[in-house]
Structure 1
Amino acid sequence: MLQQMRAKAAYIWIVIAVAFVGAYLFVDTSGLLGLGPITTSTTVASVDGRDILYTQWVDASSQMAQQQEQQQGRGLTLDERRQVEDQAFNEMVSSILLENEYERRGIRVTDAEIVEMARYNPPPQFQQLPDLQTDGRFDAAKYQRFLASPAARQQGILVNLENYYRSEIPKQKLFSQIAGDVYISDTRLWTIYKDTHDSATVSYLSFKPVPTKEQKTAVTDAEISAYYNAHRKDFERAGSATLSIVSIPRRPTAADTAETLAKTKALRDEIAKGAKFEDVAKRESDDTSSGAKGGDLGRSVKGAYVKAFDDAIFSLPIGTMSQPVKTEFGFHIVRVDKRTADTAYAHHLLKLVKQGDSAATKTDRLADQLATHAAGSIVASAFDTTAKAIGLLISRITVTEGQPAEYLGRQVPSASAWAFSGVAVGESSDLFDDEAAYYLVRLDSIRDGGAQNLAVVKDEVRDLVARQKALDAVIPKAQAMAKEAAGSTLEAAATTAGRPVEKDGPFARSTPVAAFGFVSEVSGAAFTLTVGAVSEPVRTEDAVFVIRVDKRVSADTAKWSMQKSTQRLQVTNSMRDQKVRIYLDNLRKAAKIVDKRKELNAAQRRQAI
């Protein structure tokens, strides 16, 4: 079998050749190539002295991007490409770190292990293939026949399986060494169960002081420095940028809506008269992702879609086709193929409500003017002058590195990734667009991510120190009320002070309580105080509480015993996963990683201008 795998290695070279061409196109279209001397030996990063070549990274990014584009049936935005690039980079770094660990620990993989795994432990994606299932379940016999078939050899599947297991088997061996010794005792299982099933109900008084202007002014520079030095990690921030933005909406008219509805009805009639739903969906659906699959939505969970669409999927008789269903996305035709109480398998066809030809022509002319006179300009004033000339409102937005830009409640495609791609302050973007509008942005300012200097966050630190002082100031008052409540009742003490008694619960130890915060000292006190007793003041980050436990219910040991085996399996797997994640995180933190991506892309962009 292994000889068969290797005999088809020539097929992989075809894939590599195609991927190389795709990689070049990916770099070219994403703006990574400029006039700079990027060569086959240019390194984009190094991990503990091992280089990652720029071309390797681009090739991996390209393959991932192509896969996503095929799945979604459309091109990726710059934001999505940035995510793909980051994913490819992180996987390459992780691969080197793992290979170093395999070498250090002497982990190897044999040919016999690969054959055994390939035959009897197929990859998860194979188990999901419809052609390898019987009655909705993976059929091992079908899988074995497929492996022995000429198709598996001709399509290079055997070679791909060998490569997959050469990567996967040593990883499994390493993870087994790291976390194979995890054992959860009954005592620990009971404690975990109690954390989610013990409950408490409390009454409380809260003191949430707001620092006064005088308290903020009284904070000294020495106090600010001391707090900042003690909490430096709290002031790490993602990069941020301020952008000027203009948009040209693609607003459809009532006539456009009526025309789209008529078109949707005509398509429904076509299907009703005998046309195959899947063929019409492939030809006409504006949902390019499902449309490429004949409108197949796969498995849908109740509540996953907007209400009108969700209602249609879970109310239509199975096998029937809906009338046009209107949502914020347009008009849908839905056919339900199979359904249970909370899941369904359905097909749909979407027609977006778009501008008619006349309105679209006017919009496109405005967009052309904007693109011609301002897009890509390195002259900051060109943005303002052009926007004013064609009557566009200039707005300001702040974007965070790694997150899509938002404007008027909608995501702006590509703007965020562009802002952090090495462009200069004052530079304008290319024209971006989606189904709702055209967009142009200009970079007005940018701040690098990471630990922020004290000068940048000084006002924030001042407020935090002032808040701590304000909490210090209310402690004596809270102590006096706790003492009075202990001698009478919480209600009596509250009445005397003119404060309301608030209630919360029942809640478990692990339940976030909005009033107290997640994993709060107050929640801890609620499970240690005697029922009916009043606490001393309990201080959190932004408030002080005096509480009384009104009721506490302990977890049921009989119910715990009934589910203990299942719980042990779940907790063991969770703790093993956690131990592996921590190990890998520490491995990465300890590694010397030199990342040149920003510098290379910025240099390429500067040379291309």
Structure 2
Amino acid sequence: MLQQMRSASKLIFILMAISFVVGFLLLETSGILNSSAVTTSTAVAKVNGTEILYTTWQQQVAQAAEQERQRRGRTLNGDEMHQLEQRVLDQMIDNVLLEQEYERRGITVSDREIQQAADYSPPPELRQAPELQTNGQFDIEKYRRYRSSALARQSGLNLYLEQYYRDAIRRQKLFDQIATGAYITDERLWNAWRDQHDTARVTFVSFTPDRIPDAKVSVSDDELRAYLKDHEKELTRPGRAVVSIVTIPRTVTAADSAAALAKANQLRAEITSGAQKFEDVARAESSDTASGSQGGDLGKGPHGRFVPEFEKAAAALQPGQISQPVKTQFGYHLIRVDSRSGDTTALHHILIPIQQRDSAARETDRLADRLGAIAAGKAQPTAFDSAARTLGLTVVKDTIIEGQPALLHGAYVPDVSAWAFKGAHAGESSDLIDADNAYYLARLDTIDHGGTPTIESVRPELTHIVRERKKLDLLMPQADSFAKAAAKTSLEEAAKPLGLTAFQSQEFNRNSNVPGLGRFNEAIGAAFSLPVGVVSAPIRTDDAVVVLRVDARKPADRAAFDAQKVAQRGQILDLLRRQRIQDFVTNLRAEAKIVDNRKKIDQATRRSES
């Protein structure tokens, strides 16, 4: 709940995470089955023929979900789990591709290299652990003592470090090979500087497709097929679904807010009187479960970790003081400052949420139970309608896109999108969704699983695109006649009899997005190549045919370039190396044969369960 208020991970959590990794390494072939539709040999994906086992993927998803639960202090909802599953699978696919590349290039790592890295370059999560720091700085001696401790041996730290560095060192060797040889000449540096610092100002006239009526431009199926064939990849689309949603809100009132404030004041009084310890109250009462389990401890950290109201109240406290109740978007907080050194503050807090009081909450829960009993999980579409009618609930329809959350009047509705695209059938109702602010129930009305489109599925969109392109072809002769007339008089004079407007741009550089002209296109190029005062020939862009005149142009300052050239070279070389690596990984994926079996597995699992 309190995402903005997470402190750095505790050492004990790092140990838990390491133990989790070690456990998964040992269990990788243990034969864990998630359902009768999945076996130990089921592949969730194949990468150039190399299988990624479903069980291994699920283990890594579970590890990542546990880490997120610890960080957020709550279980992930369905949409968040869907995103996490995708992120984990993407990482596993990248790892397989890199492993294949290591083998192809003969990249290996020795035990000595691993040992040296573990001795002198601990992973970031260990460098950032407060327990391994002294005066806010990583302490290598603390780290070495910790590595030799019984706790580290029991947690499997060395096995974790070996796995970590075996991958990290090989990856760095590969990336060094890819980035080696990156060089940029003075001429390229000067051109990059000019792109930012050469400027131009133009006057232009645009011939836009709306000058030609749609009825005058016919589009054949052959033209649609040709365009689809040439642009198939960019037209591939995610799934789309139409859902009906009913909501039972957990409406909070001013009385609910007053009750939460009263409880916060009561707890503060018990703590300040000595009747209870702050940490004990936090464990028992705080709704921020992540810090509450640690007695309300938010750890040490710099200013700016928390929401503004919280920051302001904490800054006003002296070490040892407990604040009055502080209201934020999450509820009322009791804040205790433990210590402050420079910009670093150590804090505890207790969060009392503003929520429905017992009587109203019971009525909301009772209504939600009735909704669930009538329609939750039902395959018959009439069950949903019956529930809405019986309980007097308003049905709202929403179109959702695969991989994106469902929104109802602009407000996020959890789980619906993930449920709709994970094997649900048209007419089926979801389970009852219990969110912080409301109960929701959804019905899947229609679903299009996306992928490569057919002409019929995208006919209106394709027809519009092809028609607009043909209109631009028809506009070229008109623009050519106009350009010849403007060359004899002026853009302004030639535009008047045609009812066109000559627009004047602001000063811009080669990288600018210029209103009416666009960005990185032929019109921008012409602005920096035509002689000043000359009217151009027609210039076709994606959106219009343009005729322009360069009114002014100012070159970049060579002396200013020379003064900063060394720093510029360092920055651009760093960007160039990063771009090479990014392009390399992107190309590995583009050239790989990747088969994603998740939808087939989901469908088989649902059939097995039913």
Structure 2 SS opposite 1:66: helix
Tell whether 2:375 aligns with 1:377.
no
Q: Which moved more, 1:350-359 or 1:264-273?
A: 264-273
Change (3 A) 1:158 1:148: same
* Aligned partners of 1:538 and 1:544 also within 8 Å: yes
Q: Which runs of 5+ in 2 are unaligned?
A: 1-14
Partner of 1:540: 541
Q: How big is the shift at 1:110?
A: 0.8
Q: How big is the shift at 1:268?
A: 6.1
Looking at structure 1, the residues matched to 253 and 331 of structure 2 have their Cα atoms a distance apart, in angstroms, of 13
Partner of 1:30: none
Root mean square deviation of aligned Cα:
3.7
* Aligned partners of 1:232 and 1:451 also within 8 Å: yes
Looking at structure 2, the residues matched to 68 and 24 of structure 1 have their Cα atoms a distance apart, in angstroms, of 26
Change (3 A) 1:344 1:532: farther
Looking at structure 2, the residues matched to 311 and 560 of structure 1 have their Cα atoms a distance apart, in angstroms, of 45
Partner of 2:110: 110
Change (3 A) 1:142 1:209: same
Superposed counterparts of 1:204-223, under 5 Å:
204-210=204-210, 214-215=214-215, 218-223=218-223
For 2:311, the aligned partner's letter is I
Q: How big is the shift at 1:367?
A: 0.9
Change (3 A) 1:188 1:150: farther
Tell whether 2:134 aligns with 1:127.
no
Partner of 1:202: 202
* Aligned partners of 1:531 and 1:548 also within 8 Å: yes
* Aligned partners of 2:523 and 2:539 also within 8 Å: yes
Q: Which moved more, 1:274-283 or 1:411-420?
A: 274-283
Looking at structure 1, the residues matched to 258 and 205 of structure 2 have their Cα atoms a distance apart, in angstroms, of 58
Looking at structure 1, the residues matched to 94 and 473 of structure 2 have their Cα atoms a distance apart, in angstroms, of 47
Partner of 2:251: 251
Change (3 A) 1:365 1:242: same
Q: How big is the shift at 1:322?
A: 7.0
Partner of 1:313: 311
Looking at structure 1, the residues matched to 31 and 409 of structure 2 have their Cα atoms a distance apart, in angstroms, of 36
Looking at structure 2, the residues matched to 573 and 238 of structure 1 have their Cα atoms a distance apart, in angstroms, of 35
Identity of aligned residues (%): 45
Looking at structure 2, the residues matched to 53 and 580 of structure 1 have their Cα atoms a distance apart, in angstroms, of 27
Q: How big is the shift at 1:421?
A: 1.0
* Aligned partners of 2:31 and 2:39 also within 8 Å: no
1:20-42 deviation line (CA, Å, top 9, x unaligned): 69x999x8xxxxx44x3433233
Partner of 1:549: 550
Looking at structure 2, the residues matched to 534 and 559 of structure 1 have their Cα atoms a distance apart, in angstroms, of 32
Structure 1 SS opposite 2:569: helix
Q: How big is the shift at 1:553?
A: 3.4
Looking at structure 1, the residues matched to 67 and 180 of structure 2 have their Cα atoms a distance apart, in angstroms, of 34
Structure 2 SS opposite 1:74: coil
Change (3 A) 1:508 1:141: farther
Q: Which moved more, 1:564-573 or 1:394-403?
A: 564-573
Looking at structure 2, the residues matched to 160 and 56 of structure 1 have their Cα atoms a distance apart, in angstroms, of 17
Change (3 A) 1:338 1:570: farther
Looking at structure 1, the residues matched to 399 and 91 of structure 2 have their Cα atoms a distance apart, in angstroms, of 30
Partner of 2:463: 462
Change (3 A) 1:601 1:404: same
For 1:313, the aligned partner's letter is E
Q: Which moved more, 1:54-63 or 1:183-192?
A: 183-192
Partner of 2:7: none
Change (3 A) 1:300 1:80: farther
Q: How big is the shift at 1:345?
A: 9.1
* Aligned partners of 1:241 and 1:398 also within 8 Å: yes
Q: Which moved more, 1:96-105 or 1:208-217?
A: 208-217
Superposed counterparts of 1:224-373, under 5 Å:
224-264=224-264, 284-288=285-289, 294=296, 296=298, 309-310=307-308, 313=311, 317=315, 319=317, 326=327, 328-331=329-332, 350-373=351-374
Looking at structure 2, the residues matched to 64 and 282 of structure 1 have their Cα atoms a distance apart, in angstroms, of 25
Looking at structure 2, the residues matched to 504 and 327 of structure 1 have their Cα atoms a distance apart, in angstroms, of 46
Partner of 1:450: 451
How many matched pairs? 587
Tell whether 2:529 aligns with 1:528.
yes
Structure 2 SS opposite 1:210: helix
Structure 2 SS opposite 1:444: strand
* Aligned partners of 2:313 and 2:323 also within 8 Å: no
**What is the TM-score normalised by the length of structure 1?**
0.85
Superposed counterparts of 1:491-506, under 5 Å:
491-506=492-507
Partner of 2:170: 170
Structure 1 SS opposite 2:507: strand
Partner of 2:3: none
**What is the TM-score normalised by the length of structure 2?**
0.84
Q: How big is the shift at 1:399?
A: 1.2
Partner of 2:10: none
* Aligned partners of 1:397 and 1:407 also within 8 Å: yes
1:101-141 deviation line (CA, Å, top 9, x unaligned): 22222211111111111112222222222233344433444
Q: Which moved more, 1:108-117 or 1:228-237?
A: 228-237
Tell whether 2:41 aligns with 1:41.
yes
Partner of 2:426: 425
Change (3 A) 1:318 1:257: closer
Q: How big is the shift at 1:356?
A: 2.1
Superposed counterparts of 1:380-395, under 5 Å:
380-395=381-396
Q: How big is the shift at 1:62?
A: 1.1
Change (3 A) 1:494 1:370: same
Q: How big is the shift at 1:254?
A: 2.3
Q: How big is the shift at 1:250?
A: 1.3
Partner of 2:571: 570
Change (3 A) 1:393 1:222: same
